[in-house]
Amino acid sequence: MSAEPQIVNSVAVLHTVQQVRQWHSEQKSQGRRIGFVATMGALHDGHLSLVSAAAQRSDSVVVSIFVNPAQFAPHEDLDKYPRTLDQDIEKLKTTSVSPEPLRIAVFAPSVAEMYPRGISTHRDKQRGTFVEVLGLSEMLEGGTRPHFFRGVATVVSKLFHIVMPDITVFGQKDVQQCCVVRAMVTDLHFPLTLVVAPTVRDKDDGLALSSRNVYLTSEQRARAPAFYRGMCYARDLYNSGITDREALIAAVRQEAQKGGLDIEYISLTSPDDLSEIQEVKDGGAVLSGAWRMGSTRLIDNILLGFGF
């Protein structure tokens, strides 16, 4: 007996700013609330959970699929970053939060559409308008990728102006990005609501879903969850009353080293400004880190004592 057919959503594929603006006008003329999810494609269940979260809070959803050159350095993986537009569209057709089909628009612009003056991964060669969120972009991920959040803030600002959503959903997995975008929304008076959705993890071993997981060999994939296990041990310590930075970070480091992970950093920071803290106090903390497995760089985090 064949399985029940999955819901097929209405998916409009848009490539230009003009097409998005026209689609937006059509939706608004019907009184529809618009949600937005920004992605670089290679969609997995984590991305689809963001689309579902947006759909629960809106009537129509725009999903951008754009590999943004401005957030890559010359030595990073821009050229090999997976580009799977056709497969991504098929996945969006079967994403549902209710028995009713969703109205989804995919915005898949060219680089020239997003950066009419052109864009280089070499910062000193870039020309045009860029957005920086100072005070939140320089540490953690920004410490080793100083170009990254300038590129993120710039492209997200552009997308907000183009899509004009009522609500946008970002994933907690990229927690620093969430903090940067939250500050930008406030500082630049974007008329939208930002929702941060929980990290989606592998149901068996807890590894955070990431488009870069496809780069891992089977042996690397088996070791990769060690960082999350370490963070879980640290959370157990915190829940038992231990709030000291050294003890919490040591718990993560010990388990990560058991897994043979090449640790780039482990951090305990304030959720307000991402400054490093020595002890978790009433406001809670973000426990985060990055590590490498061969040429693949992964990140993860958990929240201690607070939620977005």
Q: Indicate which residues carry an active-site annotation.
A: 47
The kind and range of the H/E element at 303 are strand 296-304
**Rounded Cα gap, residues 302 and 243, in angstroms:** 14
Q: Which long-range contacts (CB under 8 A, 24 or more apart) does 128-132 make?
A: 129/154, 130/70, 130/154, 131/157, 131/184, 131/188
167-171 and 34-39: which strand pairing?
parallel
- β partners of residue 286: 269, 303
Token pair, residue 134, equals 């100072």
- β partners of residue 167: 35, 193
The alpha carbon torsion through 210, 8, 85, 171 (nearest 10 deg) reads -30
Please report, for residues 202, 219, 246, 247, the alpha-carbon distance to residue 243 in angstroms, rounded to integers and kept in the order given: 28, 34, 9, 8
